[in-house]
Amino acid sequence: MGLLAIGSPLDWAEAKQHADHVREHGIEQFLHIWHRLKDRTGDVLLWGDEIEYMVISYDDEGKNARLSLRQTEILEDLQHDASERKKTSPGREACIPVFHPEYGRYMLESTPGAPYGANLEALLSVEGNMKFRRKLAQSRMHSNEVPLTLTSFPRMGAPGVFTDPYYPPGGGVARSLFLPDEITNPHVRFPTLTANIRRRRGAKVAMNMPLYIDTNTPRPFIDPNIHDRNIWPEDANARDGAALPDHIYMDAMGFGMGCCCLQITFQACSVNEARRMYDAFVPVGPIMLALTAASPIFRGLLADVDCRWNVIAGSVDDRTEEERGLAPLKHDRFVIPKSRYDSVDCYIYDCDSNRPEYNDNDMPIDPAIKERLMQDGVDELLATHFAHLFIRDPIVIFEETMNQDDSKSSDHFENIQSTNWQTVRFKPPPPDSPIGWRVEFRSMEVQLTDYENAAFAVFIVLLTRAIMNLGLNFYIPISKVDENMHRAHQRDAVHSQKFYFRKNLFSPAPGHGCSPLPSAGHALNGLPAHINGRANGDDTQSSTCSSHTTSPRSHSPTCEKAEFGPVEDEYDEFTINEIINGDGKDFPGLLGVVRKYLDSLDVEKSTREQLEKSLELVRRRADGSLVTTATWMRNFVHSHPAYKHDSVITEEINYDLIRAVDEIERGIRKEPTLLPACYEGSSQAKEGDLFKACCGDVMDIANGAKVEKGLGE
Ligand code: ADP
Ligand code: MG
Ligand code: MG
Ligand code: MG
């Protein structure tokens, strides 16, 4: 979450007057980038992760675990440390992690000091790199504080004390019944975002997650904390129906944007490769959401869902009643089916394999924007994608940056682009930067340990390589992907649900659309040269990459029309175990294709063994021999002596749960249902050793791989 420009943000009444200006110039800015960089090829397949933490503050005497609101001080200390370390370790700047602010004033985000290259050794350093970051964060905290990678904080917004220092709920920005405004990062961008979303919507946001009904849960469950209170005029909403019975009602942006996640960003070697990667990630999004599910508790209540996604979607849902289809269109232009934080609405790769039938969502677009883009030669699919993102208004506009040189800035473009928070993001290169076309995979929930976070990151990286190298085809209709998003939320979705997935991952055959990258040109480290991000000279990389780009529809003579049958015959319903581990018959599963890809390389035995340690977690979470984080948390609650089977997570249960998570992470508490026996924990690792290990395998920043700052989450 970067770009924390200091300036004067406009309040909503003023900002909306300038919405067209921002949209119009945003599109011009994109067109400048497009014209300059649409034909750029040869970028290295760099990648990097983002991990978000909650700073926990223990009150051991009171047996309470709270959110420490010390983000600002901790970040300042970390930044000071980083500049000191840079002075004492010249040439190793790229090994020094970067910490970023986030929405919650108790949150931190970390990224590696520079992106990883595409070689297999880089994959082996990911866990150490993540552990190093956690150690650094921990080193700047008080003795009663700890950085934990929890997706949602179980008692945020529950009655009692859940922040350190304590603030009573309320405040003029979010107007929440449950959260104090002090929970929000005080940088002016965040309160403005919060207030302007509320103002644009014309009401407070309202999220209702189904409550887990236990044997002693009162029925119907009507939350007394809602109905007794009336601080702001908007609070009438809750009594008038915004808060549903038998649900956990949440009324502020902090409930969603205050969740943590694990994201992975990839640079592709060309715009077409990025579009192809984007499309392949779309159906994988809900599968990984279900597999990483880690948020079964909200506002001190056990939920009947395991994931955060719908909470965040609701928490920034700025659509008016007209846009939500609750009132006839009078002042607004579109009925919009989804929040600006939601799953992807359309595929974008211009290729025969991407059949028009797959883009079957009801998806409003701004026709004038589409036309403007197509006028300048942007193809219909990409023009539609941006014409859809640009139906949204900019929420935060800084007075000082209203007028920009569209050939040099992308601020207006990013304003809209980065407040469309989808499961996958297609990221054009920033102007004047060595960074290429990128794709961000955004659906995963953050896991309790860096072993798990690294395992999921490594799996997704290897999956990308398999997709690109084996020419895999994951297309199913987007409406089915949305249905999968819904199913992914369900309690214990890994066991309780089936998901739509494509039956034949290798169809249509190469030559009919998306041909694979030829696996010729093996280079160092056993990887084909075109995916080797390091150790090669630039020339090798670019020439190899550009000569092996795939065949988009409009550019390739080899792109014959494939014979397609009915779309409905292409997909089926599978369990997560089948999707990941295969069905034991024809369907290889995602791990199957990853292994097929690894088998095609000349990988050293010890490297392969280490990679298999990561893949083991993915395999076992999917086959049920290890439980998901959410299931482990539920089991912990159910077996806690103080749990009354009334769906309520008390301060005491929360404290013990957080302590247990902390001990698991350190490796001093073994949880064999959650983690494989090989998990060692972070307590043994020394900061100095981790630094050395990171430095052994991070790209030198001097190679031009500077970390870009964008608008985040
Ligand atoms: P966001 O805008 O999503 O918050 P961040 O800047 O926080 O993005 O981080 C995105 C990730 O992308 C980081 O891990 C970073 O190392 C990585 N990254 C930066 N530059 C590149 C690049 N050129 N290619 C691939 N990954 C990159
Ligand atoms: Mg970020
Ligand atoms: Mg991100
Ligand atoms: Mg973030």
- Residues 73-129 have pLDDT tens digits of 999 999 999 999 888 888 888 889 999 999 999 999 999 999 999 888 889 999 999
Ligand 1 atom at shortest distance from the alpha carbon of 100: 7
Q: Both tokens of residue 17?
A: 């007057």
Q: What is the largest CA-CA distance in the chain?
A: 73
- Does the pLDDT at position 711 exceed 90? no
Among protein residues, the one with the nearest Cα to ligand 1's atom 17 is 48
pLDDT of res. 683: 84
Instruction: Return the best residue to mutate from 40, 49, 50 for the ligand 1 pocket (most ligand atoms within 8 A of CB).
Output: 50
CB–CB of 633/673 below 8 Å? Answer: no
Per-residue pLDDT tens for 209-268?
A: 999 999 999 999 998 888 666 667 777 778 778 899 999 999 999 999 999 999 999 999
What does DSSP assign to residue 683? S
Tell which wins on pLDDT, 543 or 303.
303
- Pocket probe mutation, ligand 1, options 707, 711, 713, max atoms within 8 Å of Cβ: 707
What pLDDT is stored for residue 626 in this prediction? 98
479 burial via Cβ count (<10 Å: 0-12, 13-18, 19+): middle
User: What is the CA angle 70-225-187, rounded to 5?
Assistant: 25
Share of the chain above pLDDT 90, in %: 79
Residue with tokens 């599963």: 589
What pLDDT is attached to residue 694? Answer: 75
Q: Which two tokens stand for residue 252?
A: 């502020």
Q: Give the position, in ligand 1's atom list, of the atom nearest the Cα of 266.
A: 25
* Contact (Cβ atoms closer than 8 angstroms) between residue 154 and residue 300: yes
Query: CA dist 67 to 303, 369, 688, Å?
Result: 21, 43, 29
- CA 713 to ligand 2 centroid distance, Å: 6
Question: What integer is the mean pLDDT of 640-649?
Answer: 98
Q: How many of the other CB atoms lie within 10 Å of CB of 155?
A: 27
Atom of ligand 1 nearest to the CA of 705: 23
CA atoms within 13 Å, Cβ hemisphere of 394 = 31
Structure letter (DSSP) for residue 327: S
Whether 410 has a pLDDT exceeding 70, the answer reads yes
What is the Å distance from ligand 3's center to 1 Cα?
7
Closest protein CA for atom 23 of ligand 1: 435
Q: How many CB atoms lie within 10 A of CB 85?
A: 17
Report which of residues 515 and 52 the model is more confident about: 52
Cα of 306 from ligand 4 centre, angstroms: 20
So what's the pLDDT on residue 529?
34
Q: How many CA atoms lie within 13 A of 566 on its CB side?
A: 3
Cα separation of 515 and 493, whole Å?
34
pLDDT mean over 677-706: 68
Span 304-314, mean pLDDT?
98
Whether the full predicted model's pTM is greater than 0.85, yes or no, is yes
For residues 306 and 296, is the Cβ–Cβ distance under 8 A?
yes
Nearest atom in ligand 1 to 425's CA: 3
Min mean pLDDT across 26-40, 186-200, 512-526 is at 512-526
Span 399-408, pLDDT tens digits: 999 999 999 9
What atom in ligand 1 is closest to the CA of residue 706?
20
CA pair distance 422, 361, nearest whole angstrom: 15
What integer pLDDT is reported at residue 545 of this predicted model? Answer: 41
Q: Considering only residues 428 and 94, tell me which one the structure prediction assigns the higher pLDDT.
A: 428
Q: What is the pLDDT of residue 65?
A: 98
pLDDT of 35 > 50? The answer is yes
Distance between CA atoms of 388 and 412, rounded to whole angstroms? 16
Residues within 5 Å of ion ligand 2, judged at the Cβ atom: 50, 712
The stretch 357-374 carries a mean pLDDT of: 97
What does the block give as tokens for 479? Answer: 């409406």
Locate tokens 């395998």: which residue? Answer: 697
Distance 111 CA to ligand 4 centre (A): 9
Using the mean position of ligand 2's atoms as its centre, give its distance from the Cα of residue 522 in Å. 33
Confidence of residue 562 (pLDDT cuts 50, 70, 90): low
Pick the CATH number of 42-363+402-502 from 3.40.50.2000, 3.30.590.50, 1.10.10.10, 3.40.50.720: 3.30.590.50
SS (H, E, C) 311-347: HHHHHCCCCCCCCCCCCCCCCCCCCCCCCCEECCCCC
Q: What is the mean pLDDT of residues 268-273?
A: 96
Rounded Cα–Cα distance for residues 38 and 58 (Å): 51
pLDDT score of 24 more than 60? yes
User: pLDDT, tens digit, for every residue of 505-540?
Assistant: 998 754 445 544 443 332 323 333 333 332 232 332
What is the predicted pLDDT for the residue at 225?
Answer: 80
Atom of ligand 1 nearest to the CA of 43: 23
pLDDT at 47: 97
Domain edges within the chain: 42-363+402-502
Instruction: Report the C-alpha gap between 517 and 528 in whole angstroms.
Output: 10
Around Cβ 400, how many Cβ atoms within 10 Å?
A: 11
Mutation pick for ligand 1 pocket among 132, 708, 709, 711 (CB with most ligand atoms within 8 Å)? 708
pLDDT at 27: 98
- SS3 at position 502: strand
Q: How far apart are CA 48 and CA 468, in angstroms?
A: 18
686 pLDDT band, cuts 50/70/90, is: confident
- Give the pLDDT band (50/70/90) at residue 165: very high
Mean of pLDDT values over 639-668: 98
Q: Which atom of ligand 1 is nearest to the CA of 418?
A: 2
Q: Can you give 673-700 as a three-state secondary structure string?
A: CCCCCCCCCCCCCCHHHHHHHHHCCCCC
**Best mutation site among 51, 98, 108, 111 for ligand 1 pocket (most ligand atoms within 8 Å of CB):** 111
* Residue bearing the CA closest to ligand 1, atom 11: 48
Which pLDDT score is estimated for 167? 98
Nearest atom within ligand 1 for CA of residue 2: 4
Would the pLDDT of 561 be above 60?
Answer: no
Place of tokens 């800015």: 29
Round the average pLDDT of the chain to a whole number and report it.
89
What is the CA(341)–ligand 3 centre distance, in A?
Answer: 13
Measured from the CA of 113, which atom of ligand 1 is nearest?
16
Atom 19 of ligand 1: nearest residue by CA position:
707
Task: Report CA(416)–ligand 3 centroid distance (Å).
Answer: 15
Distances (CA, A) of 431 to 215, 435, 539, 710: 58, 9, 23, 12
Q: Is pLDDT above 60 for 656?
A: yes
Report pLDDT for 696. 58
- The residue whose CA is least distant from atom 3 of ligand 1 is 712
DSSP-assigned states of every residue in 90-124: TT-GGGS-EEEE-SBTTEEEEE-SS-B-SSHHHHH
User: What residues does ligand 1 touch, defined as CB less than 6 Å away?
Assistant: 1-2, 46-50, 100, 111-112, 115, 265-267, 435, 438, 440, 705, 707-710, 712
CA of 455 to the centre of ligand 2 (A): 19
Distance, CA 617 to ligand 1 centroid (Å)? 25
